[in-house]
């Protein structure tokens, strides 16, 4: 696990197979664009490291628990990094930009009472998320249609949702958060949302993280509640 990271080629391949629930040469060729020989090398690495069942002809091979646990560990690490990099004023700042029909550090500073550095960091996050345009000197940045769609369709909801995995998650989420949490495009179909939910729920299910350290199991539990709440907000 130490030698292979979540962003390395092998790590990405493992994540793809976990998402699909199985592994095969065809899956790796289609999803990663690798050749036949490289795909077989990757499958051999997965088997040697205890992630994959032995080959049986040309049939797809199934993943072992260690594969799910490893990807859950990586996802937990990524989530910790995301939480540390986020800003609790992001959504409020976005609403201000939509209201003003422009995005600038001075507006964010004045309305939220924060410093220049923090305001600039929030705008950079908005740009990365596709909510505002690029900087053009000292001019305010344009607010893009995606920002209006998110904010106009984002009344906060507080609900309690029980799902197929037996988890109950009372919490508050807006559509702004929910699409990002489930990793689906804005306006995705109910089918796409449900499919994304089930894939994420499978990765963070208690059975998949049972052997991880306590702090990662706790994070997985919080993530599962977050996924449940996001699913409820989009499918109510």
DSSP collapsed to 3 states, 6-17: CCCHHHHHHHHH
Please name the CATH architecture into which domain 154-235 falls: Orthogonal Bundle (1.10)
Whether pLDDT at 176 is above 70: no
Query: Rounded CA gap, 66 and 51, in Å?
Result: 6
Q: Which pLDDT score, from 0 to 100, does residue 233 have?
A: 82
Q: Which residues belong to CATH 1.10.287.110 in the chain?
A: 154-235
State pLDDT tens for residues 73-132: 887 776 655 554 556 788 889 999 998 889 988 889 888 888 888 888 889 888 887 889
Residues of the chain with CATH 1.10.10.10: 1-63, 90-151
Name the pTM for this structure: 0.41
Q: Give the residue carrying structure tokens 């930009």.
A: 97
pLDDT recorded at residue 138: 76
Angle 123-124-129 (CA atoms, 0-180°, nearest 5)?
Answer: 95
Sign of the Cα pseudo-torsion (125, 131, 134, 138, in order) = negative
Among 31-35, 144-148, 175-179, 229-233, the range scoring the smallest mean pLDDT is 175-179
Q: Residue 137 pLDDT > 90, yes or no? A: no
Domain 1-63 classified CATH 1.20.1560.10? Answer: no
175 close to 150: Cβ distance less than 8 angstroms:
yes
Q: What's the topology of domain 90-151?
A: Arc Repressor Mutant, subunit A (1.10.10)
On the question of pLDDT at 157 being above 50, the answer is no
Sign of CA dihedral 85, 88, 91, 92: negative
Q: Please check the confidence at residue 41 and state whether its pLDDT lies above 80.
A: yes
Counting every residue, how long is the chain?
236
């Amino acid at each position: 696990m130490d030698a292979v990271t979540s962003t390395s080629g092998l790590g990405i391949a493992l994540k793809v197979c976990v998402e699909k629930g199985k592994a095969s040469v065809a899956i790796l060729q289609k999803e990663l664009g690798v050749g036949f020989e490289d795909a077989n090398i990757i499958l051999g690495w997965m088997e040697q490291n205890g992630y994959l069942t032995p080959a049986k002809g040309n049939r797809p091979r199934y993943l072992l628990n260690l594969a799910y646990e490893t990807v859950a560990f990586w996802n937990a690490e990524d989530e910790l990094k995301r939480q540390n990099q986020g800003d609790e004023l992001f959504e409020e700042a976005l609403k201000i930009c939509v209201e003003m029909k422009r995005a600038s550090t001075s507006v964010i500073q004045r309305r939220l009472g924060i410093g220049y550095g923090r305001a600039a960091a929030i705008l950079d996050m908005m740009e990365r998320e596709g909510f505002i345009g690029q900087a053009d000197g000292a001019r305010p940045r344009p607010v893009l249609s995606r920002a209006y769609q998110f904010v106009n369709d984002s009344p906060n909801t507080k609900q309690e949702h029980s799902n197929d995995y037996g988890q109950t998650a009372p919490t508050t989420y807006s559509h702004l958060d929910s699409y990002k949490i489930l990793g689906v495009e804005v306006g995705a179909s109910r089918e796409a949302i449900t499919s994304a939910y089930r894939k994420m729920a499978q990765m963070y299910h208690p059975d998949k993280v049972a052997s991880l350290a306590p702090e990662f199991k706790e994070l997985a539990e919080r993530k599962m509640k977050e996924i449940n709440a996001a699913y409820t907000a989009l499918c109510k």
